[in-house]
Chains A and B, each alone.
Chain A
Amino acid sequence: MLTLSHYLILSLLLFSIGVAGVLTRRNIIVVLMSLELIFNSVNISLAAFSYYLHSLTGMVFVVFNITIAAAEVAVGLAILVCVYRRRRTTNVDELDELKG
């Protein structure tokens, strides 16, 4: 029988893969894709909690979460286009001007 733990483990697995992607990749657009993976893992766990705990709040929250993810991707990629236009690179190691 499927329990809540199954879904939470799947969510944790996708979250870990997303964090590994953020930490290991150099190309900033792949880093943004890993952020999408993290968003999806959070959505899975919210929907699972909502289903197993008889509450609709989680499902509504997933809808809002997807909206925020879409807005984040739009703004993030726009910033990326700006940065690329100025610096001609998408490598996260070269974008360290704000480092103290």
Chain B
Amino acid sequence: MMEQVFFYIFSIIAVISAISVISARSAVRSAFYLIITLMQVAAIFILLRSPFLAAVQVFIYVGAVMVLFLFAVMVLDIGREKLVAYMHHQSVIAVPAVIVFFIMGAYMIIRGGWNVSNAGFPEAALAKSSEVIGKEMFGRYLFPFEVVSLVLLIALIGAVALVLRGREKDKQC
């Protein structure tokens, strides 16, 4: 019962701030609303009994990715452009289409017989979530884990090369 109340609180805050993300006029405000949404998603992860994922969500998304977004907003000097028309002209078609998509999806989920309730793992295994996930990750998913390091390496090299390439030509930026 309590769990349900908390689920609704977190979801409502998440959805409201997600709508604020896409409707806020300045990009900095969008970023801060996105932080609120990500924190609520972390709370939802705790309701799903995976505290490791919640910690990772706060740690990576709120701690690192949002810092990157805010730095990008500052580097790109977005503040100047917030007075131009910020909505796309195709939103007249796009928003009703998305609403229709949502109604169809919700209909399929509700009628689709996904009503598995209250299953879950034994509580003892969940108390040490990071150990359980670690055992899985370093055992069965060893190869994907090593591939992830390559993905990160490529992302690092690509990002650094892209950002530093034009520096010589364009000293002031």
Q: Which residue numbers of A lie inside 8 Å of B, CB to CB?
A: 1-10, 12-14, 16-21, 23-27, 29-30, 32-34, 36-37, 40, 43-44, 47-48, 50-54, 56-57, 59-60, 62-64, 66-75, 77-82, 84-86, 90-93
Contact = CB atoms under 8 A, between A and B. Distances in A.
A4 B151 contact: no
A60 B137 contact: yes
Given A12-B105, A37-B37, A60-B133, A69 B65 contact: yes
Contacts of B64: 70
A2 B3 contact: yes
B48 A51 contact: yes
Given A20-B94, A34-B22, 7 more contacts: A19-B98, A24-B87, A26-B85, A36-B61, A37-B21, A47-B53, A52-B119
B128 to A, nearest CB: 13
A89 B150 CA distance: 32
The main secondary structure of chain B at its interface with chain A is helix
Contacts of A64: 141, 144, 148
A70 B159 CA distance: 12
A24 B102 CA distance: 16
What band does the interface of chain B fall in when counting residues whose beta carbon is under 8 Å from A?
A: 35 or more
Shortest beta-carbon contacts, A-B, top 4: A21-B22, A71-B155, A23-B94, A24-B91
Contacts of B52: 59, 63
17 contacts: A2-B3, A2-B4, A3-B118, A4-B115, A5-B110, A16-B99, A18-B22, A21-B21, A30-B27, A33-B30, A37-B34, A37-B37, A51-B48, A67-B151, A74-B156, A74-B159, A77-B68
A78 B158 contact: yes
Nearest to B3: A2
Contacts of B151: 67-68, 71
Interface of B: 3-4, 7, 11, 14-15, 18-19, 21-22, 27, 30-31, 34, 37-38, 41, 44-45, 47-50, 52-53, 56-57, 60-61, 64-65, 68-69, 72-73, 75-76, 78, 81, 84-88, 90-91, 94-95, 97-99, 101-102, 105-106, 109-110, 114-121, 129, 132-133, 136-137, 141, 144, 148, 151-152, 154-156, 158-160, 162-163, 165-166, 170, 173
A19 B91 CA distance: 11
